[in-house]
Amino acid sequence: MPYKRYKSECIETVLTNRSNHDIPADESTLYRWIDWFYFYVEYWIHCLVSIKHQTKQDGDDLKVLPETSGTALQRLGRLVGNASGWLARVVRPVVNFYLWVHTRSAFLSGGG
């Protein structure tokens, strides 16, 4: 998760209820969460479909690909459900299958 000081449930709430939430974060933080999510969502959907195939799980995965109808949240919901905790259910398998894209490397030194 890109913003570790917030629980995934907070980010999830903002993503599912953009205009109607009570998360104590400034607008620029909320914008970054939404931007982060929509930048990676198609990648995550494809990762989850791939994981389902690799683990031989049944399902009609073609219904979640971009060519199908529905928003990104609706398509993710078909893969992991839309009950509370859906964001963690997206992140966990992607991380556990080493598919998580790291976007920052802090404290890199220039060498010895």
Sequence ranges of the domains in the chain: 8-96
The rounded distance, in Å, linking the Cα atoms of 64 and 80 is: 11
| pLDDT classification of 1: cutoffs 50, 70, 90 | low
* Ordered DSSP codes for 70-101: S-HHHHHHHHH-SSTTHHHHHHHHHHHTT-PP
pLDDT band at 2 (very low <50, low <70, confident <90, very high): low
User: What average pLDDT is seen over the chain?
Assistant: 83
